[in-house]
Structure 1
Amino acid sequence: MFEFLTMLGAGLVTGFLIGLTGMGGGALMTPFLLVVMKFDPILAVGTDLVFAAVTKIVGGLGHHHESKISIKPVFWMAVGSIPASLIGSRFVLSQTDNRHLIDKFLPNLLGWTLIVVSIIIIARVLRVLGPKKESEVRYPAPWALVIIGAIGGALVGMTSIGGGTVIMALLLLFFSMPLNYMVGLDVMHGALLAIISAFSYILAGQTDFSTVGILLLGSLPGVWLGAKVVHRINLLLVRGILGLLVFGAGLQLLLGGGH
């Protein structure tokens, strides 16, 4: 019963943060499954991807009124991200018998990805990384979207973490676009990438569906609630706390908390 309530609570908090900020799904849930629930690293990644796919779709519906989704940039980003995520997930799934890689390399990769993601989140909170002035609008060329998508896709395929956050950071670093364009990209592409990546792990039997079900019982009301109260909460404060939580989770994995 305690385990059930712990997972329900983790789903609720993570869903609420996804609905509120659009980020934090894999960055909080994968470390939770590894460190608290003591999941095998590959099973943790596969379980989180299915959880994230469903939660992001519901979160996207909750946020749909905020964004104008352009199909063309989503297409070009998917050209890079989908093959990269399939290659990344294929690599990890081919190493299931290599315990050294699974028990050492994967938690370390997860840990470093979380550290990078947390730095990006905190940089955005401190406005070191953010949208430029509207007068300086520069849209990415298709080839740039393909490369950025490939980086995010490979990360998601191997770790389930960082697709949305890292992709958003690269777009903010090198380009300047209206916020609704970026939100649309994040919502539609993020859900698509999570779904495609999740299928590789489902087909390999690396998903714990009973855990996914319990987590969704918490996350679906949480993501809906987060999307509803987004205008009444100090998002900078929430993102700052989220950044620190993600940094702590990354540090925990690097120090051996996932073993």
Structure 2
Amino acid sequence: MMDLVQQNNYLVVIAIGVVVGYLSGLLGKGGSAISTPALQIFAGINPFYALASPLPAAITSTISASTVYRKEHLFDKRVILLCAVVGIPATVMGAQVSDYLKGKTLMVLTALFIIGLGVSLAVTFLRKHDKENYNTTSNTAGQQASAVNIYIIVAAFAIGLLSGLLANAGGVLFSTFFIKKLHMPIKRALACSVVLSALLSIPGTIWHWHLGHIDWSIALVLAVTALPFSWLGARTSVRMNTARLERLFAFTLIGFGVFDIVYTLAVK
């Protein structure tokens, strides 16, 4: 009976890997914001394992998706490099702190943060009138370089810290920052966040593995199933209407965040 239950759980994990992989490529994120609540809700995974086990899969899925974005020439190499240099060590710092918080606390923090990002982006997109500004190149080039660099450094440190704390690849946080503060077009923002998700997932994976928060059987299943579907999701993203992609991105965050926090507070 136990074997049957375990087998059914792995079938659920496979299904989660397929869905999360596709959405990761589509929305330019590592997928932790989606896979974490899904693993706990549908597969009954322990909160700590649900938080950290998707990190290794985030590496493979984001690398797969980045190949599509690269062909479309959507990367801003300067922004990616600066965010990675600051964000990676900050991720390690945040991961160390996570060991002192309860799993339920981390789940609630993750859900609240995702909801906040989704609402913020939804308001931004719905109020936007000049769509041409979001279909051109990034506006960061027209700003003073030194001021922008300091802005990026501060944001990258904060995002890296939160990413390590919440065992999140950081894609959602970076893409939101790029869209709202650097005024990047959404497809460029998603492309840059995909690369950073892969880079920040590496130290996060190593540290949470050290803390014993990763179930490698779950991580492997997610990594293998997400790989081809993240590529497919990225292909869909680069061909999707920009306005539709913006709304899909914002309301997907809100939906998953609300679902997760209601489950965590009401059921657990």
- What TM-score do the two structures reach when normalised by structure 1? 0.82
| Alignment partner, residue 6 of structure 1 | 12
Partner Cα separation in structure 1 for residue 178 and residue 131 of structure 2: 9
Q: What per-residue deviation string (whole Å, max 9, x for no partner) do you get for residues 136-160 of structure 1?
A: 9334622111111112111210113
Deviates more, 1:114-123 or 1:198-207: 114-123
Change (3 A) 1:228 1:254: same
**Aligned equivalent of 1:243:** 253
Q: Map of 1:30-45 to 2, 5 A cutoff?
A: 30-45=36-51
- Residue 73 of structure 2 is aligned to residue 67 of structure 1: yes
2:140 aligns with 138
> Does the 8 Å contact 2:14/2:225 carry over to 1?
yes
Cα distance in structure 2, aligned partners of 1:197 and 1:228: 27
Equivalent pairs counted in the alignment come to 252
Q: 1:151 corresponds to which residue?
A: 158
Mapped partners of 1:136, 1:37: distance in 2: 40
Structure 1 pair 162/151, CA: closer, same or farther in 2 (3 Å)?
farther
Aligned counterpart, 1:227: 234
8 Å CA contact 1:117, 1:162 repeated in 2: no
Gaps of 5+ in 2: 1-6, 142-146
d(CA) in 1 for partners of 2:153, 2:160: 10
Q: Given the alignment, which residue of 17, 25, 31 partners 2:23?
A: 17
Partner of 1:166 in structure 2? 173
My pick for the range that moved more, 107-116 or 136-145, is 136-145
CA gap 1:15/1:242 in 2 versus in 1, 3 angstroms:
same
Structure 2 match to 1:187: 194
Distance 1:16 1:217 in 2: 13
- Aligned runs of 1:53-132 on 2, under 5 Å? 53-93=59-99, 95=100, 101-123=101-123, 126=126, 128=128
Deviates more, 1:141-150 or 1:184-193: 184-193
Shift in CA distance, 210/35, structure 1 to aligned 2, threshold 3 Å: same
**1:142-198 deviation per Cα after TM superposition (whole angstroms, max 9, x unaligned):** 211111111211121011337222222223333334667534432322211112211
Structure 2 CA distance for partners of 1:120 and 1:129, relative to 1, 3 Å? farther
CA distance 1:159–1:132, shift in 2 (3 Å): farther
Q: Is the 8 A contact 2:30 2:194 kept in 1?
A: no
Match of 2:45, SS state, is coil
1:208 to 215, 225, 232: 215
Deviation at residue 47 of structure 1 after TM alignment: 0.5
Cα pair 2:28 2:191 within 8 Å, conserved: no
Tell me, what secondary structure is at the counterpart of 1:91? Answer: helix
In structure 2, give the amino acid aligned to 1:40. Answer: N
Change (3 A) 1:241 1:13: farther
Over 3 Å counting, the alpha-carbon distance change for 1:132 and 1:189 in structure 2 is farther
Closer, same or farther in 2 for the Cα pair 1:92/1:67, shift >3 Å? same
- SS of the aligned residue for 2:102 comes to helix
* SS of match in other structure, 1:119: helix
Structure 1 residues 125, 220: closer, same or farther in 2, change over 3 A?
farther
State whether residues 140 and 148 of structure 2, in contact with CA within 8 Å, keep that contact through their aligned partners in structure 1: no
Q: Secondary structure at the match of 1:126?
A: helix
Using structure 2 for the length normalisation, give the TM-score. Answer: 0.80
Q: How far did 1:130 drift?
A: 9.3
* Corresponding position: 1:50 with 2:56: yes
Structure 2 CA distance for aligned equivalents of residues 176 and 224 of structure 1: 25
Quote the offset at 1:232 in angstroms: 5.8
CA RMSD in angstroms comes to: 3.0
Asked if structure 1 preserves the Cα contact closer than 8 Å seen for 2:114 and 2:253, the reply is no
- Amino acid across the alignment from 2:245: L
